[in-house]
Amino acid sequence: MADQSIPLLTKTPQTSGLQMTQEVKVYLEGLLEDAGITPVDELMKEELLKEIYVRLDNYLATVILDNMPTEHLDTFIKMNEEKKSKEEMETFFKEKVPNYKEILTKAFAGFRDLYLGNITATRNTPKN
């Protein structure tokens, strides 16, 4: 599927890149801290945050799509293709996805568990 915009992520015409809300940035910085990852400088930190952000975007889009009633999928795809605003997408999700806020809250917790679990697994993998 094409790039999936979600309520916390938006495209800007100036950069055509994902823009991180302050709340999401704080969340991702907390993930880095919880994972024990200390970037050597601000540039490295920003690159790590961008990398995790893309993963979060994909994860949240998948969770939202998995919970969206099938009768609304075509509308969602069309809205995404038309690059509807963050506000329009948020309204759509709130109206069409049952228990949207709860799903989103659980998705953030699930992403955290997945990310930290992967970090732990990688650190515990025997080196050859």
From first to last of its 128 residues, the chain has per-residue pLDDT tens of: 333 334 444 333 333 345 789 999 999 999 999 999 999 999 999 999 999 999 999 999 899 999 999 999 999 989 989 999 888 988 999 999 999 999 999 999 999 999 999 999 988 888 87
* Predicted pLDDT of residue 86: 81
Which amino acid, one-letter code, is at 4?
Q
Residue 1: its pLDDT value, please? 36
pLDDT score of 128: 72
Q: What is the Cα–Cα distance from 119 to 48, expressed in whole angstroms?
A: 13
pTM, to two decimals:
0.77
Cα–Cα distances (Å) from 114 to 56, 77, 90, 94, 108, in that order, read 10, 27, 25, 25, 10
3-state helix, strand, coil split of the chain in percent (to 5) is 70, 5, 25
